[in-house]
Structure 1
């Protein structure tokens, strides 16, 4: 199995090397990068390119590692036993399989995405060390070991919001998705909007990168936000000459797709005001 990108996902050579190295080493691929740089989409595209199913585990701040293995509903079983429900006789009726269990027992190899692992508690990665390393775990209620029939391709994403444990990092192949340069982002836009006017793309992306490089910006716009913005520009039939918006504040047209907090809006407005003052 080799990943060489897809028609709908622009992957550079380093990213393809990282994916194929993780597959060859049978190690989880840990992908970091700014939000909106395509980390989650990478797993979907790897699954599509290799022709295998994908199982997605979205991690939240309340997610526990045990939930990825299984959960035993002892309360429901006790209630059913009191009500005389015959289901109570079989403990399997009260065990909910987690995403790792589903991936381990799948009839074919799958891509397992563990998305935004850094959202969970700091101990979350450590609690999965053995399971991801040995590709097995023990179910105490059944006195049974669940082993992977086919070793899944594990892709783990992180927004770098917190440090991950060294023991966990040692077991992963790491890749950082850098923010795309102008040429790469132009290719990404072309993939999503193949018939778009190139003059509009060039003008929009120049303004986009100018915005990202603004000193003091609290949240830089991401790749996905650039795509949303360009989509709106196309829908509104905005010409390259009209991208700047009104001269009063010099904000980009439809800037709500790019700027996501009032501090950044006020920053650009103030910079425009100071520029006008100096020009007088």
Structure 2
């Protein structure tokens, strides 16, 4: 008997991380628990901790197509199901276009429809759900629970033959409704400790000099621990900073001078700190340390 594409990619059908994504044991457990329970996996964590990337890596690991629905402040729940273009149909009827007799010509399937009718079991990412209106999660309760919805214009019910793996991310900008939370398996991605961060750096920069990593991480974690920062630097910003350091020998020298106390602030700090208040705080702190 031949293996399916999914089985060939991952015979155990369990997520264990990938070569390009370091997943902690707790995160692996959460992904696999949500798959077993057939519940949406709700992922929270600081920006830059790999929430969105997780869905891409789960899809790759399990050999499934990825369907992504990026949520904005104006996004409505029904857009994930389908949209009916009544205006175009009215215009076409006025022009005498024969396609008005088939209402399907004016129905645009949404991301849930796409995931429910996919030929293969898919991973559905609902990204940054907390950006939408507070009622948005409640408006999807039935659809995500029963994996089906009714199309009023055609009288058909769209049901998932192959239940997708649903991953939902949130940056905690607003509280999500209790009824929605009850239907999810929840996991908070903790910020990586230094050992995990070294693994992440190794993935992005194979063969990087250990001294450069040691120096960079020393400054990076000191910055993150600086009291009063509005936005502590994230993993993605560390990766950007290391990319710049590797491209500039002078910056590496300045990095060493900063650690020895000869320079007040680290080189290329604009890759790490993203607002003027944090930069001012860093400069003030550096001046105090030099006195």
- Partner in structure 1 of residue 116 of structure 2: 104
Mapped to 2, the partners of 1:239 and 1:62 lie a distance apart of 43
For 1:15 and 1:252, locate their aligned partners in 2 and report how far apart those are by CA, in whole Å. Answer: 33
Match of 1:268 among 250, 273, 282: 282
- Which deviates the most, 172-181 or 230-239? 230-239
Secondary structure of 2:264 counterpart: coil
Map Cα deviations across residues 2-42 of structure 1 (whole Å, 9 max, x no partner): 10110000001000000000000000000000000000000
Is the contact made by 2:59 and 2:123 (CA closer than 8 Å) also made in structure 1?
yes
Pick closer, same or farther for the CA change 1:181–1:199 going to 2, 3 Å.
same
**1:251 offset after TM fit, Å?**
1.8
Distance (Å, rounded) in 2 between the aligned partners of 1:76 and 1:249: 64
- Selected match of 1:46 from 44, 58, 61: 58
Tell me if 1:242 matches 2:254: yes
CA distance in 2, matches of 1:123, 1:249: 51
Any unmatched runs of 5+ in structure 2? 1-12
CA displacement, residues 36-60 of structure 1 (integer Å, 9 cap, x when unaligned): 0000000000000000100000000
CA contact (8 A) 2:246 2:252 kept: no
Task: Tell me the residue number matched to 1:138.
Answer: 150
Change (3 A) 1:62 1:248: farther
**C-alpha separation between the residues in 2 aligned to 1:110 and 1:8?**
20
CA distance in 2, matches of 1:94, 1:52: 29
Is the Cα contact below 8 Å between 1:81 and 1:88 reproduced in 2? yes
Q: Distance in 1 between matches of 2:245 and 2:67?
A: 35
2:271 to 219, 232, 257: 257
Query: Cα–Cα, structure 1 residues 137 and 98, in superposed 2: closer, same or farther, change >3 Å?
Result: same
- Provide TM-score, normalisation by structure 1: 0.96
**TM-score, structure 2 normalization:** 0.92
2:244 to 217, 220, 232: 232
Q: Deviations over 1:62-99 (max 9, x none)?
A: 00000000000000000000001111111000000000
Displacement, 1:274?
Answer: 2.5
In structure 2, the CA distance between the partners of 1:61 and 1:249, relative to structure 1 (3 Å rule), is farther
Pair 1:6 & 2:51 matched: no
C-alpha RMSD of the superposition? 1.4
- 1:63-78 → structure 2 map (5 Å cutoff): 63-78=75-90
Alignment pair present for 1:80 and 2:92: yes
- Tell me, in whole angstroms, the C-alpha distance in 1 between the residues paired with 2:226 and 2:170: 25
Residues of 2 paired with 1:15 and 1:41: CA distance?
13
Q: Comparing 242-251 with 261-270, which one deviates more in the overlay? A: 242-251
Does the aligned pair in 1 maintain the 2:41–2:167 contact within 8 Å? yes
C-alpha deviations, 1:190-211, integer Å up to 9, x for none? 0011021111011101100000
Which of 188, 207, 211 is equivalent to 2:219?
207
Matched, 1:185 2:185: no
* Unaligned stretches of 5+ residues in structure 1: none
